[in-house]
Amino acid sequence: MPNLIADIIIGCIAMDNLESRVTDLEIQITYQNKTLEELNTIIIDQQKKINTHEKFNSYIIETLRDFIEIDDDLIPGGPSRNTRPHY
């Protein structure tokens, strides 16, 4: 009989320990899910910024290409850089 009571007590302690461990794991999973959601939001915002910067860079590149294609007379110092001086 004393062994039965001891076994029951040990079993209850083990069950409490198991429940405590499961609760700890549930808390950890909750924090990890929250962290993943926060990181996902940050990544989405960063991707939007990257897309904006890429569009702006493309615009700048196209503007520079258009500027370079303008007649040399309109570019400051244009013709003088391609012609030899007259004496």
Q: Residue 30 phi/psi, 5° resolution?
A: -60, -45
The residue among 69 and 83 whose pLDDT is bigger is 69
- pLDDT confidence of 80, banded at 50, 70, 90? low
Query: How many Å apart are CA 23 and CA 30, to the nearest integer?
Result: 11
In a domain, 17, yes or no: yes
Q: Under 8 Å CB-to-CB from 78, ≥6 apart: which residues?
A: 71, 72
Q: What does pLDDT average to over the chain?
A: 81
Does residue 7 register a pLDDT over 90? Answer: no
Residue 58 sits in which domain range? 2-69
77 assigned to some structural domain: no
Residue at 12 is within a domain: yes
* Collapsed DSSP state (helix, strand, coil) of residue 84: coil
Q: What is the model's pLDDT at position 26?
A: 95
How many independent structural domains does the chain possess? Answer: 1
Confirm if 65 and 59 have CB atoms less than 8 A apart.
no
Question: pTM for the complete prediction?
Answer: 0.55
Q: Is 75 inside any structural domain?
A: no
Is the pLDDT at 56 greater than 60? The verdict is yes
Q: What mean pLDDT comes out for the span 12-21?
A: 79
CA distance readout (Å), 51 to 46, 56, 57, 61, 63 = 9, 9, 10, 15, 18
